[in-house]
Chain A
Amino acid sequence: MSKYLLNKFLFTVDRDPELVERYREDPRELVTWWESTVANSLLNCHSGEASTWLEFTPAERDALIERDHVRLFEMGAHPFLTLTLFIAVFERDNTEPLEYQKAYGAALSGFSLPYPDIAT
């Protein structure tokens, strides 16, 4: 399991308006593309250098494709990163204030303290 890579996905997509839209419109395409092109890139580093070993487990890949924030929480993805990206993807569908945000929390109601470890 790579909590770091999950977080790297959430971090890099959240900061890029184009990637946010691609994740909203076709999550399978975006996750597949991201893993093959971005996952091993060294952020803030000149091109030509990359890591060689980062990849999602099947469960992680599925959770991202299914945009399943409950499973991501369970896996220990950083909750702030998941929340802020998923708000970007889904908040625009709200019909009343904080509708998505409250539903997001309610979907996690099965969790009690201690929450899954988010240390990477």
Chain B
Amino acid sequence: MASIVAVIASTHHPFYYRASTSTGADRPPFADEWTRKILAFRETLTRANPDVLVMVGSDHFHQLWLDNMPQFLVGKAPVYDANWYNEEREFGLPRMTLKGQEDLSSHILRAGLDEGFDLAFSNELRIDHSITCPIITLRPEADLPIVPIYTNIFAPPLPRPTRFVDLGVAIRKIIEEWPSHLRVAVIGTGHLSLELGGPRQFGPHGPDPAFDERAVAWIANGDLDGCLREVTLDSLHAPGNATHGFMDFMLMMGVAGAGAKADYVDTFDLFHTMEAYFTWYPNGAPA
């Protein structure tokens, strides 16, 4: 059976690539500290020595659109082209190509359907920054095959938070039942409090630092019960109009398991958001 050697959750700030590669007067004052934190975070994946990456993210109206919007979609393709014209335009993100792991995609789709999740699939999926940002931060070599899983945190009606947690629990079980000797890392990206296109956007900090503090504690401590007591689809509007992306963090808490404390936790307060990085080692920390 396959082994899950790391579970990783992080934010996916699209400006990291530009900030970390800029030089001279173009380099923002926070770039060096941000880069230091990312290099330490990257080491948590490198040490786990994975063979394949299952990557949870959210399409930003790039390939998925309101005429056929899935709630949860699994990519099943041999190759994934990545990033889009408007991401090059706004964030300077590079075009990328990532290998797929179709056997694991097939297994997740079959077993996921049998677990009660009506997963959509795609044989030609161009992925965007919710999945390429963690490649850039955690595995810039982009040398490992991936299985992308997209969630809808963006286009109401959304699945409720418990559904994300339940899917995370199922993904853990499904991967561990995969008849393979490969080492799998599960990486998911979401948001803490975030406002985009609203009156609270681009402030000196995220729109709700108090929510961020509670959210980081829920994730770090694996406190799913505490989190689910406070977080609902309705309540997630209060910390910012894009905060529903927090449900992808909740999905990753489901993968890590209730009560599982993260082995690695770090945060970085940026000008309009709190970056957050978490790693769990289900089989113990690698030497």
Partner of A105, one of B62, B66, B198, B237: B198
Q: Measuring CB to CB, which residues of chain A are less than 8 angstroms from any residue of chain B?
A: 4, 7-8, 11, 14-15, 17, 42-44, 69, 73, 78-84, 87-88, 91, 98, 101-102, 104-106, 108-111, 113-115, 117-120
Q: Which residue of chain B has the shortest Cβ distance to A12 in the bound complex? A: B65
List A contacts of B85 (CB < 8 A).
Answer: 15, 17
- Give the 7 A-B CB pairs with smallest separation, nearest first: A79-B197, A83-B197, A108-B199, A119-B156, A105-B201, A101-B202, A109-B199
List A contacts of B65 (CB < 8 A).
Answer: 11, 43-44
Q: How far is the CA of A91 from the CA of B92 in the complex (A)?
A: 14
Q: How far is the CA of A17 from the CA of B88 in the complex (A)?
A: 11
**Given A4-B66, A80-B60, A113-B237, A14 and B86 contact (CB-CB distance below 8 Å):** yes
List B contacts of A118 (CB < 8 A).
Answer: 156
Q: B72-98: contact bitstring with A at CB < 8 Å (1 yes, 0 no)?
A: 000000000000111001100000000
CB atoms of A101 and B66 under 8 A apart: no
- Majority DSSP secondary structure for residues of B touching A: loop
Q: Measuring CB to CB, which residues of chain B are less than 8 angstroms from any residue of chain A?
A: 60-62, 65-67, 84-86, 89-90, 154-157, 195-203, 237-238, 241-242, 271
List B contacts of A44 (CB < 8 A).
Answer: 65, 67
CB atoms of B90 and A115 under 8 A apart: no
List B contacts of A102 (CB < 8 A).
Answer: 202
Q: Which residue of chain B has the shortest Cβ distance to A16 in the bound complex? A: B85
| Chain B nearest CB, measured from A117 CB (Å) | 8
Q: How far is the CA of A82 from the CA of B61 in the complex (A)?
A: 12
Partner of A43, one of B67, B90, B197, B241: B67
CB atoms of A115 and B237 under 8 A apart: yes
* Given A14-B86, A81-B61, A119-B156; 17 other pairs, CB 8 A cutoff: A17-B85, A43-B65, A44-B67, A78-B197, A79-B198, A79-B241, A80-B61, A80-B154, A83-B197, A83-B201, A84-B90, A88-B86, A101-B201, A105-B201, A106-B199, A108-B198, A118-B156
CB atoms of A73 and B89 under 8 A apart: no
List A contacts of B195 (CB < 8 A).
Answer: 105
| Chain A nearest CB, measured from B67 CB (Å) | 6
Q: How far is the CA of A104 from the CA of B272 in the complex (A)?
A: 14
List A contacts of B60 (CB < 8 A).
Answer: 80
Q: How far is the CA of A17 from the CA of B84 in the complex (A)?
A: 11
Q: How far is the CA of A118 from the CA of B197 in the complex (A)?
A: 12
| Chain A nearest CB, measured from B87 CB (Å) | 9
CB atoms of A111 and B155 under 8 A apart: no
Partner of B198, one of A4, A73, A91: A73
| Chain B nearest CB, measured from A79 CB (Å) | 3
Q: How far is the CA of A58 from the CA of B50 in the complex (A)?
A: 56
Q: Which residue of chain B has the shortest Cβ distance to A69 in the bound complex? A: B197
List B contacts of A88 (CB < 8 A).
Answer: 86, 89-90
Q: Which residue of chain B has the shortest Cβ distance to A17 in the bound complex? A: B85
| Chain B nearest CB, measured from A52 CB (Å) | 15
Tell me which of B201, B237, B242 has the highest count of chain A C-beta atoms within 10 A of its own C-beta: B201
CB atoms of A80 and B197 under 8 A apart: yes
Q: How far is the CA of A42 from the CA of B66 in the complex (A)?
A: 11
Q: Which residue of chain A has the shortest Cβ distance to B202 in the bound complex? A: A101
CB atoms of A105 and B61 under 8 A apart: no
CB atoms of A7 and B90 under 8 A apart: no
List A contacts of B84 (CB < 8 A).
Answer: 15
Partner of B157, one of A8, A83, A119: A119
**Given A43-B65, A105-B202, A120-B155, A114 and B237 contact (CB-CB distance below 8 Å):** yes
List B contacts of A87 (CB < 8 A).
Answer: 90
**Given A105-B202, A113-B238, A114-B237, A82 and B66 contact (CB-CB distance below 8 Å):** no
List A contacts of B238 (CB < 8 A).
Answer: 113
List B contacts of A111 (CB < 8 A).
Answer: 198-199
